[in-house]
Amino acid sequence: MMRLLDFLLSWPLLLLEILKMIRRLFATFIEQPIQGQTAEILPSPKPLSGRQFSNVRLQSLSWLHGAAPCFPVRGDCITVIHDRRVFYETVLTKCASAKKRIILASLYLGIGQLETSLISVLRENLRENKQLKINFLLDFTRGTRGQVNSRTTIMPLMEESDNVSLSLYHTPALRGITKKLAPPRWNELLGLQHMKVYLFDNSVIISGANLSNDYFTNRQDRYIMIENKPLADFYAGLVNKVQEFSLQVSSKDAQPKLHKSWQHLPYEGTQSEFAQEARHRIFSYFSDVIERQNSAMDLEKDADTWIFPVIEMGQLGIHHDSVVTKALFQNSQPNSRIRMATGYFNLTPEYMNSITDCQAECAILMAHPNANGFKGAKGPAGGIPDAYTLIARQFYEKLKAAKQDHRVSLFEYQQPGWTYHAKGLWYYLPNSSLPSMTLIGSSNFGERSVNRDLETQVCIVTENEDLQKRLEAECQNLYRLGSAAESEITKREIPRWVRGVVSVFKNFF
């Protein structure tokens, strides 16, 4: 009886040790250091005087011109989409009307009725317009999960037309014994193609939403559409570069193949060899874009809005988005405000430090456990909402220890029957009631976004008052469904096993 009692009392510790052993095995097989690779940001453009903000109030954001390519536009070229149904209808309309190119870069394409309707619209446009090219970039593991999946949904289009291509990004971290033994869903922990870019001729929708039923019905997200050919060309080129080191699907071959210009399978050879060549191609692409912009003389003279695209590809050694995001906090001014949103609260220590030390008044909106997409999931995934609560609690304790809890507020989004996936931030200049800048895209500002997945966002700076009002309405629409979280997260019960696992596995979710 005593032995049984001792076992029952000690099994949580045994479980934790087993999990640590698994974590060490993961480290052995999928987190090998990449020789000669260091975390670097992308090439920086020259901060030309002709591209500085003319508005004196925006001068504190002028450092962005030296941090990323810049695309000047007019504010009326930007549509802030507030509703997931409008997002879906916009995508359908654009898929039906595009004349030359459609590029859909997402984590995956769903397999439900709404997604089937989307495929039907694409098929009809292809039949009527022989010049149209349709290009999909999805994640390999997520896009091939199950017998019916993204790949099988798109395949009939490819069999009908040679103008349809499908590329599946395969993380170089999934290799060796891990690739052989890791089951579906679990293999997605190692790294994903997570960018959300939906491009139709010269229109670009930047979002955090996937092309899936939930995101079209009851999953809260953000979506901004920009009508601008140079920006559309930029993202078309970026997606094309990622496709070069992704696997190419053919309607004639069962197995995906390498791109004709690429020689390294992501799961063979060395991880460093793949990552270094992929990084070189992304760096070269940005260098070419920046060189063209630095030599261009035809600046948008009536621009009142400036778009800075940023990317993050941590497994390739590219840290660009995270550098820019941290700089936004670090360069914030006294009496300014930042409102932030994240679908999954797992901020990196660097982000937590930047928020704790910044001068702006900050608010962060995250998912209530009831609005978390992992709520009710089977197995260990069911504990993820509790893990996010625990991480938020630890951050709040850090704020209190630094005596900054009066300046940083935490909120939780909750709406019956909905899940929450919106992310980004809004920056308000000192003593301003409207945001002058927003950051929107696929990044959740967490460990995965910085270290594992492919991400892209756009930083939009504007002096257009109408656009500022529309961005403020978007922010208010999200925050009105948020309630103060500090009291809740400090008293919410966290399962013991979750508390033991979070520190071991937090960079996987």
The token pair at 309 is 């695209």
> Do residues 143 and 246 touch, judged by C-beta distance below 8 A?
no
How far is the C-alpha of 305 from the C-alpha of 318, rounded, in Å?
27
Strands 78-81 and 223-227: antiparallel
Which residue from 342, 337, 310 is spatially nearest to 325, judged by alpha carbons? 310
CA angle 280, 260, 230 (to 5 degrees): 60
Q: Which DSSP category does 65 fall into?
A: G
Report residue 213: phi and psi, to 5°. -50, -45
Ranges 64-78, 111-125, 287-301: which has the least confidence: 287-301
Q: 173-178, long-range: CB within 8 Å, 24+ apart, which pairs? A: 173/30, 173/31, 173/271, 173/315, 173/452, 174/30, 174/141, 174/266, 174/267, 175/29, 175/30, 175/266, 175/267, 175/268, 175/271, 176/29, 176/267, 177/29, 178/26, 178/29, 178/30
How far is the C-alpha of 88 from the C-alpha of 86, rounded, in Å?
5
pLDDT at 35: 35
Model confidence over 209-266: pLDDT tens digits?
A: 999 999 999 999 999 999 999 999 999 999 999 999 999 999 877 789 999 999 999 9
Across 417-429, average pLDDT: 97
pLDDT at 41: 62
By annotation, the residues acting in catalysis are 194, 196, 201
Residue 127, pLDDT above cutoff 70: yes
Three-state SS at 456: strand
pLDDT at 296: 77
Ranges 29-33, 104-108, 347-351, 419-423: which has the least confidence: 29-33
Residue 51: pLDDT band with limits 50, 70, 90 = low
Ranges 21-35, 160-174, 274-288, 319-333: which has the least confidence: 21-35
pLDDT at 9: 39
Q: What share of the chain is helix, strand, coil (3-state, %, to 5)?
A: 45, 20, 35
Across 156-175, average pLDDT: 96
HSE-CB at 171 with a 13 A cutoff on CA atoms is: 28
Amino acid (1-letter code) at residue 478: L
Residue 22, pLDDT above cutoff 90: no
Across 116-140, average pLDDT: 97
pLDDT at 39: 46
pLDDT at 335: 96
pLDDT at 117: 97
In sequence order, what E strands does 98-132 have?
A: 101-105
Average model confidence (pLDDT) for the chain?
90
Under 8 Å CB-to-CB from 95, ≥6 apart: which residues?
A: 102, 118, 121, 122, 125, 200
Beta bridge partners of residue 169, listed in sequence order: 139
Across 148-168, average pLDDT: 96
Residue 195, pLDDT above cutoff 60: yes
Q: Which DSSP category does 439 fall into?
A: E
Model confidence over 295-331: pLDDT tens digits?
A: 876 566 789 999 999 999 999 999 999 999 999 999 9
> Do residues 81 and 87 touch, judged by C-beta distance below 8 A?
yes
pLDDT at 429: 97
The token pair at 504 is 């071991």
For the chain, give the number of residues: 509
* Percentage with pLDDT > 90 across the chain: 78
> Do residues 103 and 135 touch, judged by C-beta distance below 8 A?
yes
CA angle 54, 57, 63 (to 5 degrees): 70
Three-state SS at 16: helix
Residue 267: pLDDT band with limits 50, 70, 90 = very high
pLDDT at 312: 98
* Percentage with pLDDT > 70 across the chain: 90
Ranges 29-43, 100-114, 270-284, 413-427: which has the least confidence: 29-43
Across 115-124, average pLDDT: 98
Three-state SS at 380: helix
> Do residues 440 and 281 touch, judged by C-beta distance below 8 A?
no
